[in-house]
Amino acid sequence: MIDMPAIISNTVIDNIKGWSTDIKIPDMSSVIAVLKETWDLQTFTNLEQGKVAVPDDVINQSLAATLEGNDQVKELSITSLDDKKIKITALTKTAGHIIFICRVEQFEHNKDYSVMKLKILDKKLPDKPIVSWIFSKVSLAMVTKLVGNVNPGQGLAVKITGNEVTLDFHQALYNSSLGGVDILGYKPLDAMIITEAAPQKGFVNFTTSIDMPDNVKNMIKNVLP
């Protein structure tokens, strides 16, 4: 449960007053709740400054949470390696242990599209539902630190062609809580840009930016823990 501030800070109020009175002010309580669930101040500042390093253990915590109640996949984790590679390890009911070594060829998000492309380096992938499920979980777990929790069952498409996997998770992000947030006409999910995800040993380094006016960014920062 999130403790909501009883009073919005004077800085936030001043920022709101600086906008035209013709603009409808959103329900700040619900907006603040989503922002605080999604980011802390350090994460948002890192997004703004252009680099967010997400450790493997943070990604794997997200993956572990998605396995609750699943009787087909008992374990799922990633290990970031050098040269933009990750190792995906899964324990499944039907196939036992599955290990993939992959290179992240593309990881991008903006207001128009959100896509991850992986090249499997060690084996040919079968086009099976369990494999698609594993990669869908991995793609969203990688981005959870940046956009908050996303339900992978909604708005995510996986295409497997030979040794290449393409994941389109744009609609899934916009089905999330952050996807519905609007601050004075600016959607944080539209404004957040990811141009690269580069795995290194022990973490994934995201290249990012936030494309919105400084006063709106300051409003967000003023309510983050």
pLDDT in tens, 25-34: 455 899 999 9
The angle that helices 214-223 and 10-17 make with each other, rounded to 10 degrees, is: 150
Task: Report the predicted TM-score, pTM, of the whole model to 2 decimal places.
Answer: 0.85
Amino acid 9: pLDDT: 53
Q: With contact defined as beta carbons under 8 Å apart, do 135 and 144 qualify?
A: no
Query: Tokens 């603040």 map to which residue?
Result: 32
pLDDT higher for 119 or 129?
Answer: 119
Q: With contact defined as beta carbons under 8 Å apart, do 73 and 53 qualify?
A: no
Six-digit token string for 131: 């494999």
Q: With contact defined as beta carbons under 8 Å apart, do 199 and 81 qualify?
A: yes
Cross-strand pairs, 156 = none
User: For residue 140, which amino acid is it?
Assistant: L
Residue 90 burial class via C-beta count within 10 angstroms: exposed 0-12, middle 13-18, buried 19 and up: buried
User: For residue 6, which amino acid is it?
Assistant: A
- The angle at the Cα of 156, spanning 154 to 160, to the nearest 5 degrees, equals 145
DSSP codes joined into one string, 189-223: HHHEEEEEEEEETTEEEEEEEE-S-HHHHHHHHHH
Confidence of residue 108 (pLDDT cuts 50, 70, 90): very high
Q: With contact defined as beta carbons under 8 Å apart, do 92 and 73 qualify?
A: yes
Query: Tokens 């906008």 map to which residue?
Result: 19
Six-digit token string for 197: 């995800």
Average confidence (pLDDT) over 150-170: 88
Cross-strand pairs, 88 = 78, 100
pLDDT at 20 over 50: no
How far is it, in rounded angstroms, from Cα 223 to Cα 225? 7
Question: Which range is most confident: 28-32, 89-93, 103-107, 121-125?
Answer: 103-107
